[in-house]
């Protein structure tokens, strides 16, 4: 059996005496669209920080393709194909959307430091950037400065920048926050169609989006995994219904 793309074994994180992540065994199969849901304070963001390498666990391990990466920092995990979205930095904010994405594509190709020629002279880089932008349905903003765009569009550009690095595993921490409903549906439709070479782990509050997008769902409660199953089975699971009763009626 092939190793999961991303896996945790007995992962724990304590802040003082408070246990935010409690013995989590997570297995994310290669190519899957896996969502982690849970009520406020369940430990979702802490889990993302443990997976990306921002936090060190109190105990337990993190594995990429079966390799223990627990002691590796964020950059080393990115080099192994694990990427999360980051806020747009100042450099990107002053460039147009097309230039920003082209820059990220060029960096992946190792051209980043040789940018003494105008970006536009790198035909293949520009083509790939334009395709990504088209795929995320933000082509109308291609020539706008990133900083001039609405908040929702900026979040989509963050995803475009992450995708430009061709991650094998993409961590998305509430990517739809602040994006109007129609646009976030489109975004998720695009992500769902994205190459199966990219495994996607989504942390999300919006249950409608989760159930449209994911093929597996893990439910985190009080730092521990409660259930992991298909979206349909999670939605009808009595324990999940109990946890969400009154907070997310559509589960």
Ligand X SMILES: Nc1ncnc2c1ncn2[C@@H]1O[C@H](COP(=O)(O)OP(=O)(O)OP(=O)(O)O)[C@@H](O)[C@H]1O
Which residues bind to ligand X, rule: CB under 6 A?
Answer: 15, 18, 20, 38, 40-46
Token readout for 23 is: 């013995």
* In the complex, minimum distance from the CB of residue 203 to ligand X, in angstroms, rounded to a whole number: 7
Residue 44 C-beta: closest distance to ligand X, Å: 4
| Minimum distance from residue 18 beta carbon to ligand X (Å) | 6
CA distances from 76 to 13, 69, 70, 84, 161 (A): 21, 9, 11, 13, 18
CA distance 173 to 175: 6
- Neighbour order of strands in the sheet with 216-221: 82-84, 169-173, 199-203, 33-37, 216-221, 224-229
Residue number with CB closer to ligand X (18 or 116) = 18
Taking the complex as a whole, how short is the minimal distance between the CB of residue 134 and ligand X, in angstroms?
A: 32
Nearest to ligand X of 43, 81 (CB atom): 43
Residue 57's alpha-carbon distances to 109, 139, 178, 228, 235, in angstroms, are: 33, 41, 30, 22, 30
**By C-beta, is 112 or 178 nearer to ligand X?**
178
Residue 58 C-beta: closest distance to ligand X, Å: 12
Minimum CB separation from ligand X for residue 14, in Å?
9
Other CB atoms within 10 Å distance of the CB of residue 236: 11
Residue whose CB is less far from ligand X, 40 or 249: 40
- The span from the CA of 177 to the CA of 38, in Å, is 15
Per-residue tokens: 111: 């051209």
Contact of 133 with 160, CB cutoff 8 Å: yes
Of the pair 158, 204, the CB lying nearest ligand X is at 204
Looking at the Cβ atoms of 3 and 248, the one nearer to ligand X is: 248
């Amino acid at each position: 059996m092939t190793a999961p793309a991303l896996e945790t074994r007995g992962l724990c994180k304590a802040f003082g005496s408070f246990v935010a992540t409690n013995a989590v065994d997570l297995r994310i199969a290669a190519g899957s669209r896996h969502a982690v849901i849970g009520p406020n304070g369940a430990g979702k963001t802490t889990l993302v920080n443990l997976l990306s390498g921002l936090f060190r666990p109190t105990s337990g391990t993190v594995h990429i393709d079966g390799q223990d990466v627990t002691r590796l920092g964020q950059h080393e995990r990115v080099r192994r194909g694990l990427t999360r979205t980051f806020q747009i930095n100042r450099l990107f904010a002053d460039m147009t959307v097309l230039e920003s994405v082209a820059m990220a594509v060029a960096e992946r190709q190792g051209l980043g430091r040789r940018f003494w020629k105008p970006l536009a002279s790198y035909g293949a880089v520009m083509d790939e950037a334009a395709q990504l932008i088209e795929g995320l349905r933000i082509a109308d903003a291609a020539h706008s400065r990133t900083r001039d765009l609405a908040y929702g569009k900026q979040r989509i550009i963050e995803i475009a920048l992450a995708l430009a690095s061709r991650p094998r595993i993409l961590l998305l921490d509430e990517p739809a926050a602040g994006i109007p409903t129609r646009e976030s549906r489109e975004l998720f439709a695009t992500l769902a169609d994205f190459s199966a070479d990219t495994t996607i782990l989504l942390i999300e509050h919006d249950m409608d989006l989760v159930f449209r997008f994911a093929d597996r769902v893990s439910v985190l409660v009080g730092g521990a995994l409660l259930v992991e199953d298909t979206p349909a089975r999670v939605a009808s699971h009595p324990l999940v219904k109990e946890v969400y009763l009154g907070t997310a009626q559509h589960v």
